[in-house]
Amino acid sequence: MDRDVVIVGAGVVGAAIARELSRYELDVTLLEAGPDVGAGTSKANTALLHTGFDAKPGTLEARLVARGYELLSEYAPSAGIPVERTGALLVAWDETQRAEFAGIVERTHANGYRAIRELDRDELYRREPKLGLGALGALEVPDEALICPFTTPLAFATEAVLAGCELRRDTTVTGVERLPGGGFRVDAGGGSLTTRHLVNAAGLRSDELDRLLGYERFTVTPRRGELIVFDKLTRPLVRHIVLAVPTQVSKGVLVSPTVFGNVMVGPTAEDVPSKADTSSTAAGLDYLVAETDRILPALLDFDVTAVYVGLRAATEHADFQIAFEDGYACVGGIRSTGLSASMAIAEHVREGLELSAAPRAPRPPPRMPNIGEAFPRPYREAELIASDPDYGRVVCFCERVTRGEIRDALASPVAPVDLDGLRRRTRAHMGRCQGFFCGARLAGMLAEADRG
Amino acid sequence: MADGPVAIVGGGPAGLAAAVELRRLGVGEVVVIEREQDPGGIPRHARHQGFGLRDLRRPLSGPAYVRRYADLARAAGAELLLETMVTGWSEGALELTGPGGRSTLDPAAVVLATGCRERPRSARLVPGSRPEGVMTTGMLQQLVYLQGLPAGRRALVVGAEHVSFSAIMTLAHGGARTVALTTAQPRHQSVAAFRLGALARYRVPVWTGTRVSAIRGRPRVKEVELTDVADGSTRTVACDTVVFSADWIPDHELAVLGGLDLDPGTRGPVVDAELRTTTRGVFAAGNVLHGAEQADVAALSGHHAAAAVARYLEDGDWPARRVPILCETPLGWIAPNAVSGAGVPARGRFALRAHSFVRAPRIEIEQGGRVLWAGRVGRVMPGRSARLPHAWVSQVDPAGPPVVCALRPRG
């Protein structure tokens, strides 16, 4: 066997699994069809670290989100993943929604989360004075948090790679086969390799990979979610994650600060036929603007900085689709809670695979460059600039990203290959000008890194 | 009077012209803070001719124009702090970040000359995929002229202002043919000489009444969907580059951080005729005040601000209150947009823009129902300013309600 474990898919879930397994004496390969880690569904989600308060009690998802929250809350500060515990407010805009409160509180308690409490109208508006008119009250979930959706999978992948995990990007799996004597053959990127264990973390394509091995368990229907991100000048307008009361179809549109200091509105929820169609739509954007006008109208005095579209890997089942059979782990149907649950999913997969490998000597997680607004950033650190003037050279003005940070990202263990990758690692090009000032210079730096 | 230098934030035409004039007027210490590696602002990468006609009285290319200004500023004794960004502003002190470290500057007066930028595709909420090849003219110019990188093969330019026509030339330089210019407006918004020059040389059609309704393709742009504004019909055009030009917005982040009031029309700081903002000792000049005017107009604005700064340093006078000037739709903005005292605005005029084209409109400027001025101007439109006189300012009641600028009869 070439490898002990091959993991297909380097989204946040696959990367978390790679990290988890890399802590043991195992030869692990992480295959990613796209150009980068965390560049599919993982990059365009609502970027929240959920407590799991509103999951369906008794489900695997409820258990793994709650456990994932614990694990990631502990991991994030040591790895430099920005997390801000703003708390969430679940706002009722009509009596029907308010009537749901009792059931939500009951479900939350059944999930073992006790800190939820109801706020009356006056307290709600005291806490969120810019909220649109007509809110009746809210449920407060004080432990809901913002998290960086870009740094998280990169931290996992970096830790894995530093521990010896092989990461292959731009490598699509074209075939898999269970070998007669145990183990698997994986055809990918024009070659093939054999492995004792196979982990399917292929996200939107997890059903297809599962079928290649002869299973017929679930079908992924991409659910498109469009998000709009407002200018940083709006950040003072909202303090909490403002959630909608969930319905059958989705959790509804939320208004939330981001760790980068913006305010985000979304997502829409629309089943689409294509697993590649991450286009925004006029109808979706119109809807989000209308929802913004209703929930937090003051946002509309400012420009939209960016539009993101993600495809959630929804299936016909309500719960995560995680199964183990003779060295194969299928990790499918992971939807928007995948980021929160990622580390718990990884733990669950390691246990489920029943690997008999000795743990490696523990090592601290890698220290990822901070790109969160609430934490020290290089341009603000006089000592750092004194030691290296490139940390004082701001290249991306809107996001205040320095030349030193860009240089570091281009030389990092999991380096970016394109502008999008550089953006997710540094915030360069993420801001309000969308490259008017720095886009060309960044393109030049990338071209130079490519040549060098 | 506070000691300390005059800090000019932004080393483009407005900031550099202000620096030159402040030194000429005998102001001791003048510091220009520029976040780019080189001074000059946007003309650094606008290689076409036509800069400097109104101020330096000679035709220059953009880079030559700003090199000249930077030389003048240095020769005049102004200090240029390059690669230095104002990253904070509280209690009057500017926090500076640059390769030399972090420092604080406590200036006697500030001139904000941070300029403007084009609204990118996302702010215009154009749906579709997010491919490579979508950019503003500012990025295009830097890509082609500063980085020497290619600009695609077939480009569509969104917008029909001066800068949109200049994009045709930049694209050609970068190896791309421009398929067309599009504007949702019924007409272009450039001056004839400039437009005809570009069109004759490159034979590019201007598709008016046309909106970009979607961008498709991945990883690079493949096609653009266009919608006819009048009848809603759509068609697609193949291209690999889309340039979002014009639709300028002041780069007002620092103005907001500094607590200056913004004008709802311009989205730049509120200023009176002497370019005084709502914060004592803080002036603003050039294109941070409103959507872009040409570089020489911005420079003249900086020149005008310098005179006001020098007077302020002399006498310390600052208006206790000001009367805002509001625009009624379809008028978009007026600048200056506040009245305090009887100062004469830069170039002896108010600039006025509209959201749509109105030919030979009758404009009324009134305060509390009292008409201060009424008359016709040639045409108001987006993207290019009409000129209004200023003598009516002396009739404004300083204790009265806001002044309103409107079309009559109502548009």
ipTM of the complex: 0.95
Average pLDDT over residues B54-58: 89
- Assign domain B322-411 to its CATH architecture: Sandwich (2.60)
pLDDT at B342: 83
Range of the domain at A422: 378-451
pLDDT at B1: 44
The answer to whether residues A399 and A294 belong to one domain is no
The answer to whether residues A309 and A386 belong to one domain is no
End-of-domain residue from the set A305, A340, A372: A372
The answer to whether residues A206 and A158 belong to one domain is yes
Q: Which of B87, B120, B213 sits opposite A436 (nearest CB)?
A: B120
pLDDT at B197: 64
Strands in A315-431 per DSSP E = 321-325, 328-332, 394-396, 401-402
**Interface contact flag, B147 A444, Cβ < 8 Å:** yes
A113 has pLDDT over 50: yes
A88: exposed, middle or buried (Cβ count in 10 Å: 0-12, 13-18, 19+): buried
The answer to whether residues A149 and A268 belong to one domain is no
pLDDT tens-digit profile of B272-293?
999 999 999 999 999 999 989 9
In chain B, which residue's Cα lies nearest the Cα of A439?
B139
Rounded-to-integer distance, Cα B141 and Cα A343, Å: 45
pLDDT at B196: 61
Class of domain B120-246: alpha beta
Is residue A31 within 8 Å of A168, Cβ to Cβ? yes
Pairing of strands B116-118, B248-250: antiparallel
Average pLDDT over residues B56-78: 95
**Number of domains present in the structure of chain A:** 3
The answer to whether residues A307 and A398 belong to one domain is no
Same fold, B6-117+249-318 and B322-411: no
| Better pLDDT: B89 or B162 | B89
What are residue B386's DSSP bridge partners? B352
A162 has pLDDT over 60: yes
Rounded-to-integer distance, Cα A199 and Cα A203, Å: 11
pLDDT tens-digit profile of A336-351?
899 999 999 999 999 9
Residue ranges covered by each domain of chain B? 6-117+249-318, 120-246, 322-411
Cβ-Cβ contacts under 8 Å between A and B: the total is 124
B63 has pLDDT over 90: yes
pLDDT at A335: 84
> Which structure tokens are listed for A230?
């407002």
**Residue B194 binned pLDDT confidence (cut-offs 50, 70, 90):** low
Q: Which of B98, B101, B117 sits opposite A437 (nearest CB)?
A: B117
Q: Which whole-number Å values give the CA distances from B32 to B82, B84, B96, in the listed order?
A: 8, 10, 12
Rounded-to-integer distance, Cα A184 and Cα A194, Å: 5
The answer to whether residues A65 and A159 belong to one domain is yes
- Distance, in angstroms, between B121 CA and closest chain A CA? 8
The answer to whether residues A444 and A415 belong to one domain is yes
**Interface with B, mutate which of A36, A43, A224, A436 (most B CBs under 10 A):** A436
Q: Which residues of chain A have a CB within 8 Å of the CB of B130?
A: 278, 280, 307, 309
Q: Which residues of chain B have a CB within 8 Å of the CB of A436?
A: 117-118, 120, 136, 138-139
Q: Which of A228, A289, A435 sits opposite B139 (nearest CB)?
A: A435
Q: Where are the alpha helices (DSSP H) in A163-313?
A: 206-212, 282-295
Q: Which residues of chain A have a CB within 8 Å of the CB of B98?
A: 392-393
Whose structure tokens read 């796209």? A34
pLDDT tens-digit profile of A224-254?
999 999 999 999 999 999 999 986 655 689 9
Strands in A9-71 per DSSP E = 28-31, 48-49
The answer to whether residues A104 and A158 belong to one domain is no
If you ran DSSP here, which 8-state letter would residue A360 be given? P
Average pLDDT, chain A: 96
Collect all residues from A whose CB is shorter than 8 A from any CB in B: 228, 232-233, 276, 278-282, 284-285, 289, 303-307, 309, 379-380, 382, 385-386, 389-390, 392-394, 397-398, 400, 419, 432-437, 439-441, 443-444, 447
Residue A385 has φ and ψ, to the nearest 5°, of: -65, -40
pLDDT at B142: 97
CATH topology of domain B6-117+249-318: FAD/NAD(P)-binding domain (3.50.50)
- Please report, as a single letter, which amino acid is at residue B386: A
The answer to whether residues A275 and A357 belong to one domain is no
The answer to whether residues A138 and A235 belong to one domain is yes
If you ran DSSP here, which 8-state letter would residue B220 be given? B
Average pLDDT, chain B: 94
pLDDT at A242: 98
> Which structure tokens are listed for B91?
């209690």
Pairing of strands B30-33, A88-92: unpaired
Q: Which whole-number Å values give the CA distances from B114 to A37, A206, B64, B83, in the listed order?
A: 37, 50, 20, 14
Q: Which residues of chain B have a CB within 8 Å of the CB of A435?
A: 120, 135-136, 139
Strand order across the beta sheet in which B241-244 lies: B134-136, B241-244, B154-158, B177-182, B206-207
Average pLDDT over residues B388-407: 96
Report the catalytic residues of A: 50
CA dihedral of residues B182, B188, B190, B191 (deg, nearest 10): 140
Q: Which residues of chain B have a CB within 8 Å of the CB of A393?
A: 83, 98-99
End-of-domain residue from the set A372, A397, A413: A372
A385 has pLDDT over 70: yes
Q: Which of B35, B127, B140 sits opposite A280 (nearest CB)?
A: B127
pLDDT tens-digit profile of A73-102?
999 999 999 999 999 999 999 999 999 999
